[in-house]
Chains A and B, each alone.
Chain A
């Protein structure tokens, strides 16, 4: 804990808006589909699998936070991937959009949101949820 506080204080001298306190994350292993958080959480269109892949790329490139929809329905918001703290339109995240992955990392739960810092993508099964026959290509049909 002393080390963590030291890191926080040191970083605060460099960065703007450093927090008064920062907590340690919880180690987790998560399996699920990489999703576009906005379309999933607002249900403005069908938001999963192949039907939504193109839109999921658009939203990730547009800087909407990317999530992982775990098999138990939990939604994780990705803030870091494999040492890269870019979470605004990160090309690494575009690359795995809509795929079923297993990741390891640290979970920070705050005010009902599950923020996930991914250390490692340990498995990538590719896009396995085939939804386009039922839902077409969302949202414009092409």
Chain B
């Protein structure tokens, strides 16, 4: 099995930060750099007809519906351990140009969003809005030092790890494992 280190992926993401608004390789298996126009849709609405206002206002996963009817699943943005909803919700029901990586692996094709703009001539945005939105949701200044490593400071995750441990087997299992390392 091909395994890449997180460091390599992060380095690729950071390298792309200062680049022109064009997606760059992250070295993922089955990746293809793509740019396409699509409409931002609420996935549940698109599939079932259950359509609340504003695509669920950030509570639901969003998709990219291409002109040929293909529904693309965006799984990732450009920041640590975060998805694409916070990057796309401002464009609910609008057409965008999406720039990123189409990844086909293990029999599935998913999309990593690196840049997005309103179609056809909007201003490019990096898909990196998650941390600042996370800060706002958690009552922090976006420049707070906790925001960069938000995942280690997320109160929902902290509560679960405080209860179940990092392995999910309880605190005693964590203690024994980490002591043996």
The answer, among B49, B81, B84, for a CB contact under 8 Å with A8, is B49
Interface centre among B43, B60, B167 (most CB of A within 10 A): B167
Contact with A along B96-110 (1 / 0, CB 8 A): 000000010111111
Q: Write out the residue numbers on chain B whose beta carbons fall within 8 Å of the beta carbon of A121.
A: none
Q: Write out the residue numbers on chain A whose beta carbons fall within 8 Å of the beta carbon of B53.
A: 14-16
Contact yes or no, B110 A19, CB < 8 A: no
Contact with B along A22-53 (1 / 0, CB 8 A): 11010000000000011011111110001101
Task: Give the residue name and chain of the A residue nearest to B60 (CB).
Answer: A87
Contact yes or no, A88 B83, CB < 8 A: yes
Q: Write out the residue numbers on chain B whose beta carbons fall within 8 Å of the beta carbon of A86.
A: 56, 59-60
Contact-residue size bin, chain B (C-beta under 8 Å from the other chain)? 35 or more
**A46 CB, nearest partner CB in chain B, Å:** 7
Contact yes or no, A64 B83, CB < 8 A: yes
A: which residues have CB within 8 A of B? 4, 7-8, 11-12, 14-19, 22-23, 25, 37-38, 40-46, 50-51, 53-55, 57-59, 61-65, 73, 75, 77, 79-80, 85-89, 91, 94-95, 97-99, 108, 110-113, 115, 117, 127, 130, 132-133, 136-137, 139-142
Could you jot down 8 A-B contacts, CB within 8 Å?
A: A11-B49, A15-B52, A43-B2, A54-B161, A55-B81, A57-B161, A117-B48, A139-B6
